[in-house]
């Protein structure tokens, strides 16, 4: 059984993962509205991944004999001006997720809650991958600048992304 502090933090992170899914859907919608269908696909897949992350926490909390409480969070941002800005937003968001996962791990460590620590290790590895992915695309976008032809090539690459939870989504 999880203690109250850890349960509350895990529950909050579960809801933050569901909120993250909305953040990425909002980014996808902006891209789609600007006819960048590849970037829209990339963010739509990311939204699915975030829902998957939230569900991992949902099942863990319930498996530990507690009850996951699904609540709403704030509205996602909707005001974007460029593809570059969408990836700046995404990268900053992932850094915040990493900070939150570390904070959760610190609490679990302090409580010698080894099952939760082991569970959170998956998220720590996932955050390394996610931050690297967003940073990589962000750096490429900065190099591309206003070269729309190269941006079209990157958009086509982003169109190929698919949701693959078994591969470590
Ligand atoms: Fe679930 Fe992108 O962190």
- The CATH code of the domain that includes 143 is 1.20.1260.10
Q: Does residue 97 line the site of ligand 1, with CB under 6 A?
A: yes
pLDDT digits (tens, 9 = 90+) for 78-128: 999 999 999 999 999 999 999 999 999 999 999 999 999 999 999 999 999
The answer to whether residue 143 is domain-embedded is: yes
pLDDT digits (tens, 9 = 90+) for 130-146: 999 999 999 999 999 98
Q: What angle do CA 160, 13, 139 make, to 5 degrees?
A: 40
- Rounded to the nearest angstrom, the distance between the alpha carbon of 149 and the centre of ligand 1 is 30
> Dihedrals φ, ψ of 16, to 5°?
-70, -35
Residue nearest to atom 1 of ligand 1 (CA): 50
86 in a structural domain = yes
| Residue 98 covered by a domain | yes
Q: How much is the pTM?
A: 0.95
Report residue 169's pLDDT band, with 50, 70 and 90 as the boundaries. very low
Residue 112 alpha carbon to ligand 1 centre in Å = 25
Confidence check: pLDDT of 167 > 80: no
**Ligand 1 within 6 A of 48 CB?**
no
What region does 61 belong to: left with phi over 0, alpha with psi -120 to 50, or beta?
Answer: alpha
Determine, yes or no, domain membership for 164: no
Tokens of residue 120, six digits = 């959170």
Could you tell me the two tokens for 7? 């349960």
Give the span between the Cα atoms of 24 and 4, in whole angstroms.
30
């Amino acid at each position: 059984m999880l203690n109250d502090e850890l349960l509350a933090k895990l529950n909050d992170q579960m809801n933050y993962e569901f909120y993250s899914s909305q953040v990425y859907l909002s980014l996808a919608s902006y891209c789609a509205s600007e006819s960048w269908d590849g970037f829209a696909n990339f963010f739509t897949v990311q939204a699915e991944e975030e829902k998957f992350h939230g569900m991992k926490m949902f099942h863990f909390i319930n498996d530990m004999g507690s009850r996951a409480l699904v609540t709403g969070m704030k509205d996602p941002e909707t005001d974007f001006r460029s593809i570059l800005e969408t990836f700046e937003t995404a990268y900053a968001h992932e850094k915040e997720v990493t900070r939150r996962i570390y904070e959760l791990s610190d609490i679990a460590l302090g409580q010698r809650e080894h099952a939760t620590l082991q569970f959170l290790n998956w998220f720590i590895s996932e955050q390394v991958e996610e931050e690297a992915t967003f940073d990589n695309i962000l750096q490429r976008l900065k190099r591309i600048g206003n070269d729309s032809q190269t941006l079209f090539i990157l958009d086509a690459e982003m169109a190929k992304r698919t949701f693959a939870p078994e591969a470590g989504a």
